[in-house]
Structure 1
Amino acid sequence: MGGGPAGLIGTVGASHLGLKPALIEQQRLGGDCLWTGCVPSKSLLASSHLGHAMKRAGNMGLQEVDASHDSSLAIERMRKIRSKIALHDDPGRLLQMGIDTHFGSARFKNPTTLEVDGIGTFTSKRILLATGAKPKIPDIKGLDQIEYLTYENVFDLELYPESIGIIGAGPVGVELAQTFNRLGSKVTVFEVKDRILNQEDTDVSVRMKNILQKEGIEIHLESDIHDISVDKNQRTILTSGQEHFIFDSILVATGREPAINGLNLEAANIEVVNGTIKSKSTLVTSNRRVWAVGDANGGPQFTHFAEYSAATAVRNSLLPFPKSVEYNCIPHVIFTDPEIAHVGLTELEAASKGGKTFLVEFKELDRAIVEGKSEGFIKVSVTRGGNILGCSIIGYRGGELIQPVVLAMKHGLTLPQIATTTFAYPTMGEGLKRSAMAYQKSRLEGPLGLMLKKCIAWIK
């Protein structure tokens, strides 16, 4: 159930293993990632980043370019890219793999049977619930009386508004704030918590806030919105502090929640707790014939996790000794400029477990300097023995730099092993190597280092 990344990977995987899967999708294949998430947002971010760089060409010894941009051109490019990538999920292509695709709203009729509007019923010993997520809308007075944007309809705009208020400073809110700002909108962000990107490392959050503010984005923290009203297409936000803000558009980016309404889960004996399907670490629900995967599972809301969870669920549905999902090695990236990437524990979380953190500023990396991208840092948290507990990055190519850390954590590689690995020069990857060398240097300050120095002194 569901034709997003999790549903697609699940059905393709089942087909490769010799099963005859049926894919049921309510609207269109590809899910949020293709139509209202990763693909359109990253396309517009790419356009906005290039436009921003054009304005600052003087920093690279080139002539600066006029800063004005027509956002409709970036939007047109985004839609062409989205249509091109959509071909990867064409039903005809799936049919060649032995996968039948059915479009319609589905719900459980009993623990092993699904009923699909206009099509009929499907009975199976194995059902993957991959229905994705939907915008989480806050309870704000007046919000239901106006037209507002969410990640589901923001990419339907033909032209960006002159001014926009964004409610929520999580990954979606921050990415779109920078996109709108760089493509010409006046952006104001409201966040009820005491910092943006509240789930990230504190230093990362503070650094990103400073960058956004330098670009002209107005940010209000610990800002509780009391009321929203509209007059002549102008939307007014009233905060609890009695401050008034007027915008052409309002974007609500306060998170996402599993899209499980209307599935008649009770008929399938599937337990739901606080709006989330209850499942084990093996992804099986209270119905042993149903596995919840992707965003519907209530876990990390990333495409790569959706694909990973679907593959794990298919494996567990067929083989004995089910495998648990490993959450500690699931990375995530926020595609702002500079990028933010993280895996594992934050510095504070690692410290609570006795870990130590080593930080390298990008301004110390020759590649970052020559690229004009010296804003940012990498910090790696480790145990006393050098096992990696987590890593946070803010900076140029952060999403690429996190990958070797994920690989190291997954397969138990330590910082001492990374320290003895030769990295190409000049590359951004040297940031990880320098973190490892900083760890090695710290060991020289302890008893082992003292003993080594005595041995060297004796040899001399």
Structure 2
Amino acid sequence: MREIACDVAVIGAGTAGIAAHAAATRAGARAVLIERGPGGTTCARVGCMPSKLLIAAARAAQDARAAGQFGIVVAGVRVDGAAVMGRLRAERDRFVASVLSGLERIPAELRLAGSARFADATTLLVDDHTRVAARSVVIATGSSPGVPPVLEAVADRVLTTDTLFERATLPESLAVLGAGPVGVEIAQAMARLGVRVTLIDPAPAVGGARDPEVAACAAALIGEALDLHLGATVEAAEAVPDGVRLRWRGPDGAEGHATVERVLAAAGRPPNLAGLDLARAGLDRDEAGLPDFNPQTLQCGSAPVFLAGDVNREHPVLHEAQRQGWVAGGNAARFPQVEAPEPWPSLAMVFTDPEMAAVGRRFEARAAREWVIGEASFADQGRARVMGRAAGLMRVYAEPDGRLLGGEMVGPGVEHLAHTLAVALQEGWTAATFLDRPFYHPTLEEGLQSAVKAIADRTGGTR
């Protein structure tokens, strides 16, 4: 067995792992990167980028159908499913190739292929060919799609985000189990591309919305294009000649059913921890096997082991995974001296149409009784009406003294509005400070300005 000594060993070459290796190297450490494959990051291969390519195609189809409101006549819209999926994979492969090209710039002797497992807290065995002795280890093994037990009987007709984008064409019909960000994005995109879609989730809201007003608005808007069942639990699935027959029970106890060509399991991505032999690393773990870790330093207890990216379930989005990689890699290189940078304001987005976003403090009914809440509707927002996209709602939260806390929104362009609000939160702005900034007319940003002005009016901060 080959022996390698290094300062930092990084397990996993996804977004967090690549960032951790770069941070450790920048800190002067000799860092080894271990990847069992397939490489290319979850985002590029099966996550952010292929899903956004599907959404872009759906948006093009929807824009063509909606052109009549502007006096533009489109004779007919025909979706070529094979062409949609062909472009998706071609562009996806470009993104993956770019990631792999970056990995190839790491010296070959510092890249190991295979599955790593702990022999002890600082010794890793890579398959049966290499023993790695490190001063510290970063676990950045990511996550994989989970399939609910109820679907085991029809497993050969179940898709996940790891397999969906490999289809040659679009299905005729699709049931999506899980109305979280991934599920609702794909469900709406498929529906707009002509697929008959049934979306089912035991949760009461789409896209992870917590503010009841925003959640109700989002469900009404997104439910226009598909058969939406919230608060419903799938109780049975059976194979039938033309696909899968599902049976579910709704929140009122009523039973529902549908027969679809395929089922997409989009109810979560468990962390990739199996096979690591974490017990040999001496880490304290919870009932699900996740090591106990500090969410700011990412260190597991007092051990020289750090947990970064989707594997820790803290913030399973790319920008957070990248930052966590930088933090974990830097701390691994400096161990035992570690740093605990201040967390960024929470920033979550759902790329439906209209888009959804949540920034900063999430809605809690009990806490909200003490907040000042500013609200603005996109139904009356000037730029949204000009664009023919006048639908949606935003709610911004603040302390009684006007200090901004966060907000939730559904509407056109909220991916940009959410960034603006996130900066305001990170800078500690009050409503008055926020309003003392330029807002161009006519823009969607004026809708956010209106919501914050409603707070300022109630907290004495209006200029």
TM-score by length of 2: 0.90
Q: Distance in 1 between matches of 2:337 and 2:398?
A: 31
Which shifted more, 221-230 or 333-342?
221-230
Q: Distance in 2 between matches of 1:283 and 1:298?
A: 12
* Pairing partner for 1:367 from 357, 370, 383: 383
Q: Deviations over 1:176-197 (max 9, x none)?
A: 1111111111001111233333
Match of 1:257, SS state, is coil
Q: CA deviation at 1:263?
A: 0.6
The residue correspondences of 1:344-359 to structure 2 (distance < 5 A) are: 344-348=360-364, 351-352=367-368, 354-359=370-375
* Pairing partner for 1:424 from 415, 420, 440: 440
Q: CA deviation at 1:173?
A: 1.2
Q: Distance in 2 between matches of 1:180 and 1:25?
A: 33
- Tell me what 1:228 maps to: 237
**Distance verdict in 2 for CA 1:52–1:110, change over 3 Å:** same
* Pairing partner for 1:80 from 70, 73, 90: 90
**Distance verdict in 2 for CA 1:119–1:387, change over 3 Å:** farther
Q: Deviations over 1:233-275 (max 9, x none)?
A: 4211122455432111111111122111111001111222132
Q: Is 2:281 aligned against 1:268?
A: yes
Do the aligned partners of 2:207 and 2:350 also contact (CA within 8 Å) in 1? no
Q: Deviations over 1:13-53 (max 9, x none)?
A: 22223222211111133321111110100111011111111
Do the aligned partners of 1:368 and 1:428 also contact (CA within 8 Å) in 2? yes
Q: Is 2:331 aligned against 1:316?
A: yes
Q: Deviations over 1:203-259 (max 9, x none)?
A: 2222222122222x0112222222111122421112245543211111111112211
* Pairing partner for 2:309 from 275, 285, 294: 294
Q: CA deviation at 1:287?
A: 5.5
Q: Distance in 1 between matches of 2:413 and 2:56?
A: 13
* Pairing partner for 2:294 from 260, 280, 294: 280
- Tell me what 1:456 maps to: none
Query: Gapped runs of 5+ residues in structure 1?
Result: 453-460
Q: Distance in 2 between matches of 1:294 and 1:242?
A: 39
Q: Deviations over 1:326-374 (max 9, x none)?
A: 5561201100001111112234358447211101112333222211122
Match of 2:422, SS state, is helix
Structure with higher RCO (Cα < 8 A, 6+ apart): 2
Q: Deviations over 1:153-188 (max 9, x none)?
A: 111111111111111211111111111111111001
Q: Distance in 1 between matches of 2:19 and 2:407?
A: 28
- Tell me what 2:124 maps to: 114
* Pairing partner for 1:168 from 154, 178, 184: 178
Q: CA deviation at 1:144?
A: 5.5
Q: CA deviation at 1:377?
A: 2.4
Q: Distance in 2 between matches of 1:223 and 1:436?
A: 36
Q: Deviations over 1:395-440 (max 9, x none)?
A: 1111111112111111212211011112122221222222232222
Do the aligned partners of 1:204 and 1:392 also contact (CA within 8 Å) in 2? yes
Which shifted more, 201-210 or 104-113?
201-210
Which shifted more, 366-375 or 320-329?
320-329
Cα RMSD of the aligned pairs, angstroms, is 2.3
Q: CA deviation at 1:9?
A: 0.9
* Pairing partner for 1:219 from 224, 228, 244: 228
Q: Distance in 2 between matches of 1:130 and 1:233?
A: 41
**Distance verdict in 2 for CA 1:99–1:142, change over 3 Å:** closer
Q: Is 2:322 aligned against 1:307?
A: yes
- Tell me what 1:457 maps to: none
Match of 2:105, SS state, is helix
Q: What one-letter code is carried by the residue in structure 2 that aligns with 1:252?
A: A
**Distance verdict in 2 for CA 1:96–1:266, change over 3 Å:** closer
Q: What one-letter code is carried by the residue in structure 1 that aligns with 2:281?
A: A
Query: How many pairs are equivalent?
Result: 446
Q: Distance in 2 between matches of 1:393 and 1:98?
A: 46
- Tell me what 1:378 maps to: 394
The residue correspondences of 1:46-85 to structure 2 (distance < 5 A) are: 46-85=56-95
* Pairing partner for 2:259 from 246, 265, 274: 246
Q: Distance in 1 between matches of 2:98 and 2:195?
A: 33
Do the aligned partners of 1:334 and 1:340 also contact (CA within 8 Å) in 2? yes
Q: Distance in 1 between matches of 2:348 and 2:415?
A: 8
Do the aligned partners of 1:21 and 1:98 also contact (CA within 8 Å) in 2? no
* Pairing partner for 2:408 from 392, 411, 434: 392
Q: Distance in 1 between matches of 2:352 and 2:106?
A: 38
Match of 2:159, SS state, is coil
Q: CA deviation at 1:96?
A: 5.2
Do the aligned partners of 1:227 and 1:237 also contact (CA within 8 Å) in 2? yes
Query: Gapped runs of 5+ residues in structure 2?
Result: 1-10
Match of 2:447, SS state, is helix
Which shifted more, 95-104 or 261-270?
95-104
The residue correspondences of 1:407-446 to structure 2 (distance < 5 A) are: 407-444=423-460
Q: Distance in 2 between matches of 1:25 and 1:200?
A: 37
Match of 2:144, SS state, is strand
* Pairing partner for 2:202 from 192, 207, 213: 192
Q: CA deviation at 1:321?
A: 6.2
**Distance verdict in 2 for CA 1:8–1:141, change over 3 Å:** closer
Q: What one-letter code is carried by the residue in structure 1 that aligns with 2:266?
A: A
Q: What one-letter code is carried by the residue in structure 1 that aligns with 2:312?
A: N
Q: CA deviation at 1:68?
A: 1.9
Q: Is 2:144 aligned against 1:134?
A: yes
Match of 2:158, SS state, is coil
**Distance verdict in 2 for CA 1:58–1:97, change over 3 Å:** farther
Which shifted more, 41-50 or 321-330?
321-330
- Tell me what 1:455 maps to: none
Match of 2:407, SS state, is strand
Do the aligned partners of 1:41 and 1:176 also contact (CA within 8 Å) in 2? yes
Q: Distance in 1 between matches of 2:133 and 2:18?
A: 19
**Distance verdict in 2 for CA 1:92–1:279, change over 3 Å:** closer
**Distance verdict in 2 for CA 1:16–1:185, change over 3 Å:** same
Q: Distance in 2 between matches of 1:400 and 1:200?
A: 20
